[in-house]
Chains A and B, each alone.
Chain A
Amino acid sequence: MEMTGRRVAVVGMAGVFPTCTGLEDFSDKLFSNKSLIREWDVAKAYGKQVRSIVSGFVTEAEMNLEAIYSEILPSYPEVYIDHLERIPNINLATADLGSIWAMLASREAIDMAGWTEKETQSEATGVIIASGGGANEIVRSAWHGFFQLGMKTRISGAHTVDRSMFYREAANVSCFIKNKGICESIGSACATGLGNIGHAYRMIKFGLQDRVVTGGVEATALESFLGFDGMYILSRGFPAAESSRPFDLNRNGFVCSFGAGIVCLEEYEMAKARGANILGVIDNYFNNSDGDGDMFYPGFDGQKRLWKGLLGTSGFVPDVVKVHGTSTPIGDPVELMSTVDCLGTSNYHVSAPKSQFGHMLGAAGSVEFVASLLMLREQKVLPCLNSITLNPELESFQKSENWEGPQEPLAAFRDLLPEQTFEKEINSVVCLNYGFGGTNSSILVSKDNS
Chain B
Amino acid sequence: MERQEIIDGLIEILRTIRTVDQTKLVNVTEETDFLTDLTTPSTELINIAAKAEQKFGVEFEDDDIDELGSKVKDVVDLVLRAKERGKV
Residue ranges of A at the interface with B (Cβ–Cβ < 8 Å):
51, 230-232, 236, 252, 296
Contacts and interface: CB of A to CB of B under 8 A. Distances in A.
A252 B66 contact: yes
B43 interface: yes
Contact of B66 (A230, A231, A236, A296): A236
B5 interface: no
Contacts of A232: 46, 65-66
Contacts of B65: 232
B70 to A, nearest CB: 13
Contacts of B46: 230-232
Interface string B64-88: 0110000000000000000000000
B62 A51 contact: yes
Nearest to A295: B43
Interface residues of B, number: 5
Question: From DSSP, what is the main secondary structure of chain A's interface residues?
Answer: loop
Instruction: Name the residue among A232, A236, A252, A296 with the largest chain B CB count within 10 angstroms.
Output: A232
A236 B62 contact: yes
Contacts of A296: 43
A418 B65 CA distance: 33
B28 to A, nearest CB: 24
Contacts of A231: 43, 46
5 contacts: A51-B62, A231-B43, A231-B46, A232-B66, A236-B62
Nearest to A252: B66
Nearest to B61: A48
A236 B63 CA distance: 10
Interface in B41-75: 43, 46, 62, 65-66
Contacts of B43: 231, 296
Contacts of A236: 62, 66
A111 B65 CA distance: 51
Q: Which 10 A-B pairs have the closest CB atoms?
A: A51-B62, A232-B46, A296-B43, A231-B46, A231-B43, A232-B65, A230-B46, A232-B66, A236-B66, A252-B66
Contacts of A230: 46
Given A232-B46, A236-B66, 7 more contacts: A51-B62, A230-B46, A231-B43, A231-B46, A232-B66, A252-B66, A296-B43
Contacts of A51: 62
Contacts of B66: 232, 236, 252
